[in-house]
Amino acid sequence: MAESWDPAAFKARVDEVLRRFVAQEADRLVDVDPSLAPVAEQLETAVARGKRLRAAFCYWGWRGGGQPDSDALVRAAASMELVHAAAVVHDDLIDDSPLRHGRPTAHRALRAAVAHHPEGDDAARSLAMLVGDLLMSLAGQLFVTSGLPVAFLGRARPLWAALARELIAGECLEILRTGAAPDVAASLQVIRYKTAKYTVEQPLLIGGALAGAAPRLAEGYSAYGLPLGEAFQLRDDLLGLFGDPARTGKATADDLRGSRPTALLAETWRVADTAQRERLAALLGRDDTDPEDVRALMRVLKAPERVEDLIAARVEEALRVLDEIDAPPVALAALTSLAHSASTRLS
């Protein structure tokens, strides 16, 4: 790990940190009362799978600042994955998504635990909300107990506040704009705050702050991280409708049923004529819509290709920034690799 980028080895390290930490916390929850076992199970399920990209960006933000490999830093970086797990539980709850990684989402899985409740669905949703809240709390706990010096942790504390504020802002903007007339600029703003910043930019900045990186390096991290984070979410939008559910583990109709303000939908709307817009509007927000009807319209308008162009432009912008960043070659090579894996994935 010290001299080259081995994504599988890094992922295994992060997986082990998360497995041990969350298992301990799940056990402590059950110690309060055995009836909490289904809630504890959802804590562990929430972190069981993942690409660990956010942890990787935090790690290479640290290494880019000239610091060596560190188990304590890997623990701190793993906390980024708990933030993501919390965001996913809350996002699935907000969207009423049925599947995540091919398994029932937390609020669906927890229905069995409250089958006796007079308002079982609402009770399960409440439990899922609390699972997400606890995961966010555990992220902070793992970070501050990572083993890094207190002075290092203090340098990153303001960034944690920004990460949480911007993530919530993005979620709120998506809710506020759902059902409104599709708009590309508005969709890209949602993408930037809901996903791009906490997926790439903020983990990089936190890793850099922990390392004591110079302001110029932090500026480079932002200039690289924002367009790449947007490319990541644009790819997610495409996969959400055109991806293979066996790979994505998600229901393909989620974004359509919820009329969510994705850039893919906004780009389709932008180039559609009046009749096509009427057809699209009639298909959105319905449980009985066949996703293939929407996909067919999008293909006619070449919306997927247009979004692919947006992705390519952002990845190119991010990679250009790396040419100007003063960081160790191993870090620059890793960030180049991560840019490609984040933007060309199939799930």
Q: 324 falls in which pLDDT band (50, 70, 90)?
A: very high
Helix (DSSP H) and strand (DSSP E) numbers for the chain: 17, 2
Q: For residue 81, which of 48, 56, 46, 52 has the smallest C-alpha distance? A: 52
213 in a domain, yes or no? yes
Q: Are 113 and 33 in contact (CB under 8 A)?
A: no
Q: Is residue 2 part of a domain?
A: no
**Among candidate residues 154, 178, 155, 158, the one with its CA nearest the CA of residue 166:** 158
Question: Which residue shows structure tokens 């997400």?
Answer: 132
Domains contained in the chain, number? 1
The answer to whether 319 and 336 are in contact (CB under 8 A) is: yes
Q: Residue 2 above 60 pLDDT?
A: no
Residue 244 belongs to a domain: yes
Q: How far apart are CA 59 and CA 157, in angstroms?
A: 16
Q: Is 240 part of any domain? A: yes
High-pLDDT (> 70) share of the chain, %: 98
For residue 179, what pLDDT is reported? 85
DSSP state of 196: I
What pLDDT, on the 0 to 100 scale, is given for residue 243? 87
How far apart, in whole angstroms, are the C-alpha atoms of residue 107 and residue 95?
Answer: 11
Q: Which residues pair with 104 in a beta bridge?
A: 99
Residue 1 belongs to some domain of the structure: no
pLDDT value of position 185: 94
C-alpha 60/C-alpha 55 separation (Å) is 9
CA distance 158 to 140: 13
Of 243, 222, 254, 233, nearest to 189 (Cα)? 233
CATH number at residue 193: 1.10.600.10
The per-residue pLDDT for 1 is 45
Q: Is the pLDDT of residue 258 over 80?
A: no
* C-alpha span between 103 and 86 (Å, rounded): 16
Average pLDDT in the 127-148 region? 98
CB 95 within 8 A of CB 260: yes
DSSP letter (8 states) at residue 180: S
Span between the terminal Cα atoms of the chain, in Å? 25
Is the residue at 225 inside a domain?
yes
Using the structure block, give the residue that is written with the tokens 């960043």.
325
Q: Are strands 99-100 and 103-104 parallel, antiparallel or unpaired?
A: antiparallel
Query: Using CB atoms within 10 A of its CB, is residue 139 exposed (0-12), middle (13-18) or buried (19+)?
Result: buried
Q: Is residue 332 one of the residues assigned to a domain?
A: yes
As a whole number, the mean pLDDT across the chain is 94
Residue 252's pLDDT band (cuts 50, 70, 90): low
What is the pLDDT, as a whole number, of residue 137? 97
Residue 322 corresponds to which tokens in the numbers above? 């790396």
> Which domain covers residue 169, as residue numbers?
7-343
Structure tokens at 308: 């692919």
Measured torsion, CA atoms of residues 202, 204, 208, 210, in degrees rounded to the nearest 10: 60
Contact (CB, 8 A) for 46 and 101: no
- Count CA atoms closer than 13 A to 203's CA, side-chain side: 31
pLDDT in tens, 275-287: 999 999 999 888 8
Q: Lowest-pLDDT range, 26-40, 108-122, 252-266?
A: 252-266
| Lowest mean pLDDT, pick from 11-15, 109-113, 183-187, 255-259 | 255-259
Handedness of CA 279, 281, 282, 286 (dihedral sign): positive
pLDDT at 3: 66
Predicted pLDDT at 34: 97
What are the residues facing 100 on neighbouring strands?
103
The pLDDT assigned to 248 comes to 80
pLDDT digits (tens, 9 = 90+) for 152-188: 999 999 999 999 999 999 999 999 998 888 999 999 9
**Domain assignment of residue 178, yes or no:** yes
DSSP 148-174: --HHHHHHHHHHHHHHHHHHHHHHHHH
Strands (E), the chain: 99-100, 103-104
pLDDT tens-place string over residues 77-90: 999 999 999 999 99
